[in-house]
Structure 1
């Protein structure tokens, strides 16, 4: 559930990520005060405006109990802004977190494990967001495959939430905003 008065308005600079070098997207790290108004430190979906242009996006955790926003080329163009510009953002958490897209490899694994699929279907949307985040945050294909197998085993055994996973990245330092190619 969203916190009362959870709309935040702030100014930030659109940054270019160091990697990938040819990125057409930019990013903004939310100020701590704006992030603190959100309902959770993990992935969180918001609605808002960037220089008056409406958008809906899922914020990523930055590993510092805050979030960052990926601004794709289409939103930048619609808002009439370029990387390096100062922009005004207004954001608020969505009333109900949307169902996450099920990655094809996880979908296939759940199809082959009916008990795991039944448990998956009985979990909350936020639990599914965290399961998917845990799986997709793996850096190596072998780690991702192991996490999918482990997820199916845990779900089939009755676990409704992924254990030992900090969706904010704060305690494990597993997540972070992209490194900016330009100085702040």
Structure 2
């Protein structure tokens, strides 16, 4: 995907997630809507940028409010000299070409055993594959994920190149959102 290089510069507070999962060392930033509007899409979007001058590449996640959020790992926090609660300066530019997404093992296995689905998968765009994977991995239960993989193979085998039932921004479905911030 080729995009125009619209650089956004803004300040934001580093937030600690209320439910960080197994790794409590990360933080996140919710982009101001104006910065998000400079991006090429409301769904997952890859960017190059800096945080307090420290360069990074990342994939922004949709926040369900027509904006995005950025996960900041502990290594980037340290390199940027930043900590949870700090206000940091970010500069973001959409990547010139969206990187090919990592295909989850369970989807790889399903596509390997469904030749027609794999053929259509291989002929889709990178962004379509990003959306297929996002739809599958956003399932909250393993049972739902397994059904989505099966449905994806069926849809692909029938020639559908884009997932038809997924709001990649989360805005209309309210299915996607930024993490809840820990009360400070």
TM-score, normalised relative to structure 1: 0.96
Equivalent-residue separation in structure 1 for 2:91 and 2:135 (angstroms):
28
The 4+ residue runs of structure 1 with deviation greater than 2 A are none
Structure 1 residue aligned with 2:18: 18
Q: Is the 8 A contact 2:135 2:166 kept in 1?
A: yes
Structure 2 matches for 1:35-50, cutoff 5 A?
35-50=36-51
Q: Is the 8 A contact 2:59 2:70 kept in 1?
A: yes
SS in 2 for 1:34: helix
Structure 2 residue aligned with 1:103: 104
Structure 2 matches for 1:78-89, cutoff 5 A?
78-89=79-90
Equivalent-residue separation in structure 2 for 1:120 and 1:45 (angstroms):
21
* 1:88, distance to aligned residue in structure 2 (A): 0.3
- Give CA deviations for 1:85-123 in whole Å, capped at 9, x if unaligned: 110000010001000000000000000001100000000
Q: What are structure 1's unaligned runs of at least 5 residues?
A: none
Equivalent-residue separation in structure 2 for 1:23 and 1:152 (angstroms):
35
* 1:2, distance to aligned residue in structure 2 (A): 2.4
Q: What are structure 2's unaligned runs of at least 5 residues?
A: none
Q: Is the 8 A contact 2:20 2:26 kept in 1?
A: no
Q: Is the 8 A contact 1:134 1:167 kept in 2?
A: yes
* 1:51, distance to aligned residue in structure 2 (A): 0.3
* 1:164, distance to aligned residue in structure 2 (A): 1.5
- Give CA deviations for 1:116-170 in whole Å, capped at 9, x if unaligned: 0000000000000000000000000000000000000000010000011110000
User: Pairwise CA RMSD of aligned residues?
Assistant: 1.1
Give the number of equivalent residue pairs.
182
TM-score, normalised relative to structure 2: 0.96
Q: Does 1:142 align with 2:143?
A: yes
Equivalent-residue separation in structure 1 for 2:50 and 2:117 (angstroms):
39
Structure 2 matches for 1:50-65, cutoff 5 A?
50-65=51-66
Structure 1 residue aligned with 2:72: 71
